[in-house]
Chains A and B, each alone.
Chain A
Amino acid sequence: MKIKGLWWKALTVLLMLYTLVGGLLLDVPRLVILNETIRNLYFHVPMWFGMVIMLATSAVYSIKYLKNPLTKNDDYAVEFANAGILFGILGMVSGMIWAKFTWGAYWSGDPKQNAAAVGLLIYFAYAILRGVFEDEQQRNRISAIFNIFAFAAFIPLIFILPRLTDSLHPGNGGNPGFNAYDLDSKLRLVFYPSVIAWTLLGVWVVDVKTRWRKLHAVKTEQMLATS
């Protein structure tokens, strides 16, 4: 029994294991407030990067669908969006746990938190929107357009707006620690492999789900033809 695309799936596993072991055991700088939670940089942040990549790819497939309305393009657009939404929810939860112990509350109405929540709600709306159509082609086309707008709103929401104001989130204001990581080569050593690992893991889930969708569609067609 062969697994399709074995090499990159094996790479996913290797990088993920490296991230887990290295992320927990390698030396990290000792910084006030952050303490060991600086290790969240190896898990929470790369997953969020993975989410952005999933959502960007989803938007690309939506554009492709509008140019060339193949079911395949729609399948990829939906499943990349779903994987992005999953990562998004996990990112919110893991971020809130971290915020409790560094900012003092699970939710402090921080611009970054609020904007991320709004961004996720837009994607929830996308998932709901897909469910309301009777006609498949209409569903695919309208949800593709929605998806492109959703991505166009999401990027400023999480990357630009929180930076225009004061935010507690690292990388946005005067918060010590995390915003220094891109200068520290030791932290990068785990951070970048982790980004790749999370992205590939997302792609793997998308791969399985789109293949299932294809089988399901053909089977349904067959059943309709025989009945």
Chain B
Amino acid sequence: MYKFLKITLLALGLALMSAPDNYAQEKQKITSTDYENQEVAMADAMRSNGKIYIVVATIIALFAGILVYLILIDKKIGKLEEKFEEEQKSSVSS
């Protein structure tokens, strides 16, 4: 388990390290004026009437649903593992 976590983290580290190089071509620096540029249309109307939060809530509800599903499967497998270990023990002792 730890080995496999270690490998994943190592791969993650490598990916993060190489990220700036991967996208290094023709960089345009983002300045603070880009954040304030009102000429570019953004979802301002969505925010002004607050409805963006409804979208956020929807997405979180969807994610929560999938998450609960995953957790239930995880628990079910955990239960099977426990049951299986007990079976192993009882078959050894008998």
Contacts and interface: CB of A to CB of B under 8 A. Distances in A.
Interface residues of A, number: 61
Contacts, number: 134
Contact of B74 (A4, A52, A159): A4
B26 A178 contact: no
A56 B79 CA distance: 31
A153 interface: no
Interface in A1-42: 1-5, 8-9, 13, 16-17, 20-21, 24-25, 27-32, 35-36
A167 to B, nearest CB: 10
A212 B70 CA distance: 13
A184 interface: yes
Interface in A160-203: 163, 170-174, 176-184, 186-187, 192, 195-196, 199, 203
A205 B70 contact: yes
A109 to B, nearest CB: 21
A39 to B, nearest CB: 9
A199 to B, nearest CB: 6
A17 B64 CA distance: 9
A36 B29 contact: no
A2 B30 CA distance: 46
A32 B41 CA distance: 8
B30 A179 contact: no
- Specify the main secondary structure of chain B where it touches its partner: helix
Given A159-B22, A182-B20, A183-B29, A21 B42 contact: no
A57 interface: yes
A24 B56 contact: yes
A171 B40 CA distance: 22
A60 B68 CA distance: 30
Given A31-B40, A76-B4, A182-B19, A2 B12 contact: no
A203 to B, nearest CB: 6
Contact of B75 (A3, A174, A180, A212): A3
Contacts of B5: 8, 203
Interface centre among B70, B74, B79 (most CB of A within 10 A): B74
Interface in B63-89: 63, 67, 70-71, 73-75, 77-81, 84
Contacts of A223: none
A49 interface: yes
Given A35-B42, A212-B77, A199 B8 contact: yes
A205 B40 CA distance: 40
Contacts of A195: 12, 15-16
Interface string B1-40: 1001101100110111001101111111110001111111
Interface of A: 1-5, 8-9, 13, 16-17, 20-21, 24-25, 27-32, 35-36, 49, 52-53, 56-57, 60, 76, 159, 163, 170-174, 176-184, 186-187, 192, 195-196, 199, 203-205, 207-208, 211-212, 215, 218-219
10 contacts: A13-B67, A16-B67, A20-B56, A30-B40, A30-B42, A35-B43, A49-B19, A195-B16, A204-B74, A215-B84
